[in-house]
Amino acid sequence: MVNKDQLVACARQIAVYRGYPDLVDGLQPVERLREKYLHEIDELKDALMHKTWLHALHETSDVLYYAACIDATANSELYLSALRECGQLLRFHNIRMSAAQIEAAALAKYNWRASAPDNKDETYELSLIQEAIK
């Protein structure tokens, strides 16, 4: 899947920028990725309950990012399941986004983060996401 591959490429570039010491094929170890994935699911649920729809989409980007990395590291099929579940959670909260829009949001956020060291700014990322889903 092209979007998953693009997110993994972004992750590898971000890992270089951040200087992670224990990379496996350019990615963090799968155990750490799984911890981060589970944390991002909690962040998504919090955003759905206490923040805006745009913040929720910002968090779905993180969930997909880590799912893509886990798939690349553990040869799993988590990404498609995560994409489907994120869509269901958003719809449950009356946020209507297609799978293509959810993926476009993730790619917008992570392409920017991977484009230069220290690219991490929630306000700017929210604007990128909003533009990407139009």
Cβ atoms of 4 and 79 within 8 Å: the answer is yes
- C-alpha 7/C-alpha 114 separation (Å) is 9
Instruction: Confirm whether pTM is higher than 0.85.
Output: yes
Tokens of 91: 């719809």
- C-alpha 66/C-alpha 32 separation (Å) is 10
Name the nearest CA neighbour of 101 among 134, 127, 59: 134
Convert the pLDDT of each residue in 82-121 to its tens digit: 999 999 999 999 999 999 999 999 999 999 999 999 999 9
Length of the chain: 134
